[in-house]
Amino acid sequence: MMKRHAAPSTIVSFSWLLILLLPILTAGFADRLQAYDPPPSLLKTALQREHKPEEIKSLRVREGAPFKIALFADLHFGENAWTDWGPQQDVNSIKVMSSVLDDESPDFVIYLGDVITANNIPIANASLYWDKAISPTRARGIPWASIFGNHDDAPFEWPMEWFSSPGIPPIHCPAPNASSCSGGSYCSFRGTQRIELMKKEIEHNLLTLSKNGPKDLWPSISNYVLQLSSSDDPESPVLFMYFLDSGGGSYPEVISNAQAEWFQHVSEEINPDSRVPEVIFWHIPSKAYKNVAPRLRIHKPCVGSMNKEKVAAQEAELGIMNMLVKRSSVKSFFKS
């Protein structure tokens, strides 16, 4: 829910949330994650009306163990690389993520948007920072999925402190694969597009379950569904996880009617009787969150920046919330 930041110092160094989906996923979960092959039955049925059938990747659960998901949100890698605190923030985030992953051994990790702060990254290929952010999960062999936030492909915003008295700002561009600053030969100020970031992640990582989403929903990119299958039958779903691109950066901060219709179509196809629980992930909270946000301070055990910021909601409500509220199989929403 972090929107444009008024000043770099207001950006929280790291915020994360670890979720145990035990209340939702009860008995019958077993077997370590193994199969990523889509169930053939779903391949044939999903998205056949207006959309092309799409591959639905699946995960499996361990026998006799809960299925744990770790959620990392608003990591904001690559921030202010021309200062000390920006790169140090990334180092700290790697440490915290590593601790969470080592202590909790999650079965799956979700990067819930604002993986990078593109409006602070003056280089052509910001996927280098994206890659750093997912590196602790990859190093431990844990599969993951990611969605986009409002900062991930934003164009560069020139810091006012760069403008010296002659009026021509010095250039501070980090070299690829370097956390320190160097000359201007690597500079680019346009931001790396969502589709470029996602393609790089998918092309270079066997463990990612992220997807580009249906092309007719572009330029919103991270729209896809994953199936969690039972331990004894890879074709038997026990949970569907929906990921939606809530916009921001190069794109309006909304979930469009087209995305809502896509959700409705897919969910009715693959879960027609609402028997299987569904959980929903996107980055920017809906306007409804403003109505239910606590008016007073939130105390322990909650941690993070929630007491420093108000809910920064989407620009418009275009139908997805009404749709989800009416659907009995939708059990939880997770936002950033």
Where does this chain bind Zn ion (CB under 5 A)? 2, 114, 149-150
CB 262: neighbour CB atoms within 10 A?
A: 26
The DSSP 8-state label assigned to residue 162 in this structure reads G
**166: which residues sit within 8 A by CB, 6+ positions away?**
none
CB of 74 to Zn ion, least distance (A): 6
Q: Which is nearer to Zn ion, 149 or 237 (CB)?
A: 149
CB of 166 to Zn ion, least distance (A): 35
Q: Which is nearer to Zn ion, 211 or 283 (CB)?
A: 283
**Partner residues linked to 227 by β-bridges:** 58, 240
CB of 192 to Zn ion, least distance (A): 16
Q: Which is nearer to Zn ion, 114 or 245 (CB)?
A: 114
CB of 107 to Zn ion, least distance (A): 26
- Cα separation, 104 vs 102, whole angstroms: 6
Calculate the CA 153 to chain-centre distance. Answer: 13
CB of 283 to Zn ion, least distance (A): 6
Dihedral sign for Cα 179, 249, 138, 335, please: positive
- Cα separation, 260 vs 277, whole angstroms: 18
Q: Which is nearer to Zn ion, 149 or 214 (CB)?
A: 149
CB of 248 to Zn ion, least distance (A): 6
Q: Which is nearer to Zn ion, 149 or 213 (CB)?
A: 149
- Cα separation, 244 vs 18, whole angstroms: 20
Strand pairing category for 330-334 and 278-281: parallel
Q: Which is nearer to Zn ion, 204 or 310 (CB)?
A: 310
**210: which residues sit within 8 A by CB, 6+ positions away?**
144, 145, 146, 147, 198, 201, 202, 222, 224
Please answer whether residues 272 and 307 qualify as being in contact, where contact means their C-beta atoms are separated by less than 8 angstroms: no
